[in-house]
Each structure stands twice: as C-alpha cells, then as structure tokens.
Amino acid sequence: MTACLSTAELLQLSPDKLLETHTVAEAGVISQQLAREVDRKREELRVMVGERYRDLIEAADTIQNMSMCSSSVIQSVTGMQQSCTSLQHRSHMQTVSSMHAKDLAPSSANTPYLGVAAAIKLLTAVPERIWAAMEAGQFSQGAQLFLLAQHVHTGLQADAGGQVTADKTAQWFPVIARQWATIQQLQSTLLTSCQAKLSAEQLSQQTAVDSCTAIMLLKNCTVEQIFQELLSCRSSSLSSVLLSGRTDSARPAICSTVSCIMASVQAVHHAFMQGSIMESLGSITSSSSPPTLDLLGCSTLGPIARHLPSPVMQFRPNLKGKLQAMEREKLVEGMVKWLEDVGDKAMEEAKALLQYVVTVEGLIGVREGLYQVLGVAMDKWNKVVKETLGKEVCLWDTMYRHLVTDRVVEIMRQRVREVVGNTRLEVNSVCENWDQLQGEVFVWSEATSDLTNIWGKGKTEKGGLKMKCWGWNSFIQELCGGMDVGLGGVMGSVVAYTRG
C-alpha cells in the first residue's frame, strides 16, 4: 500500500500513467484520497460562498437603509417647504380676514356676497388685461396684474364674513378654481416672454428694464439675481447670433455680433449703473405709488368694484427684504468677466468666418461695416463702456483688428507666392524655347508701336523702341509685364487696406 499523498502530489498525478506506476490496490487508495480531497474542497467552497453571501446581504441592507434615510430627508425637506408655503398663505388670509372685519363691517346681509362677486369679476377680467399688456410689451404691468389676481385668490380662501366661509365660496363658485388655473399658467408665459425679450439680438434699454422688473416681481428675486439672469440671457442671445451667422457672409455676421454686445453693455448700464431698475421697482412697490387696481380701470369692473375689500383696493406688489442696489464693484467685475467669455466665443467664430473671405477688398468691407456699427454715437458709447467696465474698451482694437490684419497678411503672402510661382514657370518656359524665339530678328525689325511712348499721353511704362535697344524681346516684356501686373495688384490691395 502506498503512503497517503499530499494535495500537491495528488494534483501532479497523471491518470494515464497511474496504473503503470501503481498497483490496483494502490490506485484504489489514491481514488479514495481524491474523493476525500474533493469533498473537503467542496466544503471549503460552501463556507467561502456562505461568508461572501452574508457580506452581500449586509451590503444590500446598508444600501436599503441609506435609500430609506435619503427618502426620509427628502420628505422632510418637502414638508418644510409646504409648511413655509402654508404659513405664508395663512398670514395673507389672516391679514385679509382682519381687514374684512375692520373695513368691511357688513351694512347688510348681502355685503359679503357682493365682495365675493367683485373678486370673482376681477379674476375673470385679469387674464385678458395680462394678454393685452404682453402684446403691448408692458411686461411689468402684466406681472403686477398677476400678483393682484394672486392676492385676490388668496383672499377668497379666507372667510368673507356673514357666514360666507372659504369652503362655501369654493363650493358655490367653482369658477374661482377654473379661473385661477388659467391665471396661474400666465405666470410661466410672462416669464418666458420676458426671457425671450432679454435674449433678443437688439435689446432696447427700456425693454430690458421692463422685462427685468417683471421677472423680479414674479420670482421675488434680488437685484443680484436678476443681474445674473440678464447676463445669462445676453449670452444666449450672442450664441444664437453666432450660430445664425454661420449661414451668412462675414460682414453682416460680425456686425450683428458687435451690435449684440453693444446692446448688452448699454442695457446693463441703463438698468443697473444708472439705477433705472431701482426706479422702476420703486414706482411700483412704494407706498406712495398708485394701487395696482388702477391698472384695470373703473370701467372694467363697474360699480361692483366698490365692494372689493380694502386689502385689494390698496394692494401693491412687494419684494422680500429691503430693495438694495448692487455695489458698483460687483457690477463692473461681473461685466468684465461676461465680456471676456463672450469675447472669446466671438473671436473664435470671427476667425472661422474670415477664412471664407479670399480678397483684401472683402476684408476692407468687413472693417468698414464694423466702423459703421461702432461709429454710431461713439462719444456716448465710450462713456457707457468706461462706466460699465471701469476702463475704455474698443471692440475693434480688442477683438477684431488682429484677426483681420492676420487674414490680410495671409492673403497677401498667398498672392505673392502665386505671382512668384507663375513667373518662375514662365521663365522656365522661355529658357527652354530660347533658340526658337529668334531674338535678333525681333531686335532689328521695325513696328508702328516703337514710338508710342514718345508721342503718347505721357505713359511711363517701358516698351517699344527703348526695349528693343536694350535687347528685350516681346517674350521678356510679356514676362515682366505679367509680374508687374501681379505685384501691382498686391500693392494696390495693401495700399487700399492701409488707407482705411
């Protein structure tokens, strides 16, 4: 009988030579050892898999706990938001209720119903007036009307007095919910329209102020936030201009880019540097400003308007916190960074467009177009850009001069290379066929054009008898003349560009 083999020895056994080196009995013992080893390895595998499975289960449990914890946190945050919204609405309703009790002590049993009827009529009239304001481009007026309707709807959720509760009002007048759903959609429409106006290529200063005012009222945001949103809209506008310019020629595309940048800087200067947006908001939210209800007019609501509660009659939009202007340093810093970002995009696009301009005259046209755009109210522009960016900035010198000049040099280099190449080919051709040109016969033959330069109109170019005396035949004259014409065209283009 063979001794007990180790695991390594069992693995090294060759099945083909087993019976050659061992007896049948020894082979049986080895078979039993292999079977026990297989059982032992199988048991080790079960233990190892069981431990890993337990670790996997623990990891899955941990992930599940993390998911439940994060869901709980999200629900808690959502609950806090809902609680804050509920507290804000409750505050409005308490204010409205107290004003109802104070200023609208019913003189008759019908007074609460008349107040509700007046509020409902106001809600039905507001959507049309908001649309009219948007069509007229008066977005801040549309925002004020929306906030007025929101205030009225909040008031209808409070008790109107005389046993007219909010539940009864909602049950008796389902038109309130339907009308408020319609008015709510106008908020997003107003915001979208304002952002579209701010993203237009040509943005007037008054439109910028009006749109920014409307966004601040609807979003209840700060001056810094609306400043960043304005810059974001102007960046989107410039991206659209650059994209559309790819289907146009270089001159109108680059001029449109410069016009967009100038309009952006002027809009920011008017709205923030000159404080126009603060004046606009002050004229709306100040206690001395007219109530928002005046925007509807007396004829819209009719005699029933006198039954509206005092909070509605005296309503004016307000902003969270105290209205404060941005610091000048932050405005300048934000504008400088914005101009650097859009300037890089504009120069990259202009460089690509100028590659399609293959003549110096075309580049002169691009430069003249930029001069025309930048030359409009140059003194005013210099003042605006100095106050907005804190330094004098010429868009031509900063962004486009080196691009146009580099393209001119590239075109001139290419044209000179072509002239030299053509001349070299002609010289080689003349040298190869020199024996066939019969230069001597040409030198001593006479022609009617020999004395043209003497009795002509004062032309200074060489030719005729003078060329023959020098031994220059017609082939050499044509060769030099072609080179003169080519280099003369290059010189003319350079002179035309340098004179601009």
CA angle 445-447-449, nearest 5°?
Answer: 145
Cα–Cα dist 52/38, whole Å: 21
Tokens of 113: 């119903």
pLDDT at 494: 87
Whether the CB-CB separation of 358 and 490 falls below 8 Å is answered with: no
Cα–Cα dist 41/56, whole Å: 22
CA angle 103-106-108, nearest 5°?
Answer: 155
Q: Which residues of the chain have pLDDT under 50?
A: 1, 95-106, 454-460
Residue 384: name the closest of 281, 280, 272, 279 by CA. 272
Whether the CB-CB separation of 132 and 92 falls below 8 Å is answered with: no
Dump the DSSP string for 180-199: HHHHHHHHHHHHHHHHHHHT
Residue 226's Cα: distance from chain center in Å?
A: 15
Residue-wise pLDDT for 296-340, tens only, equals 876 778 888 888 888 888 999 988 777 888 999 999 999 999 999
Cα–Cα dist 253/250, whole Å: 5
pLDDT at 297: 77
Neighbouring CB atoms inside 10 A of 270's CB total 19
Cα–Cα dist 414/409, whole Å: 9
pLDDT at 301: 81
Burial class (CB in 10 A: 0-12, 13-18, 19+), 192: exposed
- Phi first, then psi, for residue 162 (nearest 5°) are 60, 40
pLDDT at 468: 64
Secondary structure of 441-462 as H, E, C letters: HHHHCCCCCCCHHHHCCCCCCC
Residues found in the chain: 500
Residue 499: name the closest of 367, 396, 357, 373 by CA. 367
- Exposure letters 16-30 (e unless 16+ CB within 10 A, then b): eeeeeeeeeeebebb
Cα–Cα dist 454/469, whole Å: 15
Q: Where are the alpha helices (DSSP H) in 355-400?
A: 360-375, 378-389, 395
Cα–Cα dist 351/374, whole Å: 19
Residue-wise pLDDT for 48-93, tens only, equals 887 777 778 888 888 888 888 888 888 888 888 877 776 765 555 5
pLDDT at 38: 83
pLDDT at 442: 53
Whether the CB-CB separation of 350 and 254 falls below 8 Å is answered with: yes
Cα–Cα dist 218/74, whole Å: 26
